[in-house]
Amino acid sequence: MPDVCPYLEYRQLEAETESGDAADAQPRAYCNAAEEFVQAMRADICNGRYGLDHETDCEIYREAEGLPEGVESEGGGGD
Amino acid sequence: MAYDDYLDGEKVIVTAALTGGVHGKEANPNLPETPEEIGEAAAECEAAGAAVVHLHARRDSGERSFDRDRFQAITEAVRSRTNLVIQHSTGGTGATLEARRQSLRTDPAPEMASLDMGPLNRYRHLTSENTRGMVDSLYDEMVERGIKPELEVFNDGHLNEVAALLDRRDLADPVYTTLIFGGGTTSPPSPRNLLNATENLPEGALFNTLGFGRHQLPLTTMGILLGGHVRVGLEDNVYYGPDQLAESNAQLVARTAGLAETLGREPATPDEARDILGL
């Protein structure tokens, strides 16, 4: 069972489509520490997928917990 | 490829990168995620001038998926609506090699697949590893399944890796590269760096230009002038203008196709792209 981030919850995203029709939309990952919906790749960290761990790999969690930042890096899109 | 190709009016292959694996509807609600949405977006992009579609898979929640069946559903949604060249991503920061192979295993196999030429960093502690062993392994499966690799060059060091791959493996002509510009581990986005990268390509290699965010428009325009091909779409850029979210992938494709025509190069049809790429 993956170790899920305690700040993670799933919420409905407003304005799911261009038409605003969110009737069929699935809830998606929301970070209560950052107070925003998280990117797809960040949700893998929150959910502990692929060997990722929010305690070591998520700068948002670490900042919220007052842990040292460690190495910083920022990527773009297009994976 | 060079300025002479521009002067000769060689056709431009426009690739539409619809979805990606990094951001989703939280960044732009018009970004397609479900197979149905992706199929519809692909059809709109073909009508707007795209010849190739670059595909990723998502779960129902919008999160990344590497599931073969999900790729199968997406590829069927696109194939049923378009004649586009289908290119599946094998990228997957943090994901296992086995997960990343799944997109190659649809029936039929995609005509093309992306192949990252080296490592890149994300966030605090994620790396897309792309060791040479992983690259060879993905490449070998592509060859086995008749899939043409699109060599993704995230920075100039990856041009060395392209040369090294050509030493290790016998790639079919033409070698097709995508030159990537943006932040983080990608090449710093500037006209000079695009020029330098094109001058360091292997002899005879084709190139495709990819700029992230606000660099998409100027660098792809420059790529057209340098005789290259271009990639646009919501995977790489969710904006149409400053503080203006793009309405769709097709909106970005239409602008690029129109620019190419204005500059004297017609967008290639999917079948013309197949001829250019040797598919």
Q: Do B126 and A57 touch (CB under 8 A)?
A: yes
> How far is residue B91's CA from residue B128's CA, in Å, rounded to a whole number?
8
What are the φ and ψ backbone dihedral angles of B120, each rounded to 5 degrees?
-150, 150
| Tally of CB atoms within 10 A around A9 | 13
> How far is residue A43's CA from residue B279's CA, in Å, rounded to a whole number?
36
**Contacts B97 to A, Cβ<8 Å:** none
Confidence of residue A24 (pLDDT cuts 50, 70, 90): low
Best of B116, B123, B180, B230 to disrupt the A interface (most A CBs within 10 Å) is B123
Q: Do B237 and A77 touch (CB under 8 A)?
A: yes
Confidence of residue A78 (pLDDT cuts 50, 70, 90): low
* Per-residue b or e along B201-228, where b marks 16 or more CB atoms closer than 10 Å to that residue's CB: beeebbbbbbbbbebbbebbbbbbbbbb
> How far is residue B81's CA from residue B44's CA, in Å, rounded to a whole number?
10
Q: What is the pLDDT of residue A4?
A: 95
Helix (H) or strand (E) holding B216: helix B216-225
Q: What is the pLDDT of residue A74?
A: 46
Which residue type does A2 have? Answer: P
Residues in contact with B259: Cβ distance below 8 Å, sequence separation at least 6, in sequence order: B220, B221, B224
Pick from A9, A60, A20: nearest CA to B61: A9
Q: Do residues B194 and B180 make contact, with C-beta atoms less than 8 angstroms apart?
A: no
Q: What is the pLDDT of residue B46?
A: 98
Confidence of residue A75 (pLDDT cuts 50, 70, 90): very low
Q: Is the pLDDT of residue A23 over 50?
A: no
Q: What is the pLDDT of residue A2?
A: 59
Q: What is the pLDDT of residue B88?
A: 98
* Tens of each residue's pLDDT in chain B, 279 residues: 788 888 888 999 999 999 999 999 999 999 999 999 999 999 999 999 999 999 999 999 999 999 999 999 999 999 999 999 999 999 999 899 999 999 999 999 999 999 999 999 988 788 899 999 999 999 999 999 999 999 999 999 999 999 999 999 999 999 999 999 999 999 999 999 999 999 999 999 999 999 999 999 999 999 999 999 999 999 999 999 999 999 999 999 999 999 999 999 999 999 999 999 999
Q: What is the pLDDT of residue B86?
A: 98
Tokens coding A38 = 């998280």
- Find the closest chain B residue to A15 by CA distance: B29
Q: Do A28 and B122 touch (CB under 8 A)?
A: no
> How far is residue B230's CA from residue B266's CA, in Å, rounded to a whole number?
12
Smallest CA–CA distance, residue B8 to chain A, in Å, is 31
Residues in contact with B194: Cβ distance below 8 Å, sequence separation at least 6, in sequence order: B179, B181, B209, B219, B222, B223, B226
Residues in contact with B133: Cβ distance below 8 Å, sequence separation at least 6, in sequence order: none
Smallest CA–CA distance, residue B135 to chain A, in Å, is 15
> How far is residue B262's CA from residue B254's CA, in Å, rounded to a whole number?
12
Q: What is the pLDDT of residue B251?
A: 98
> How far is residue A41's CA from residue B29's CA, in Å, rounded to a whole number?
17
> How far is residue A33's CA from residue A48's CA, in Å, rounded to a whole number?
17
Among B24, B92, B128, beta carbon nearest to A39: B24
DSSP state string for B242-279: TTEE-S-HHHHHHHHHHHHHHTT-PBPPHHHHHHHHT-
What are the φ and ψ backbone dihedral angles of B187, each rounded to 5 degrees?
-60, 140
Which residue type does B276 have? Answer: I
DSSP state string for chain A: -----TTEEEEPPSS-STT---TTPPPEEEETTTTEEPPHHHHHHHTTGGG--HHHH-HHHHHHTT----S-----S--
Among B61, B121, B236, beta carbon nearest to A78: B236
Q: What is the pLDDT of residue A68?
A: 81
Q: Do residues B26 and A13 make contact, with C-beta atoms less than 8 angstroms apart?
A: yes
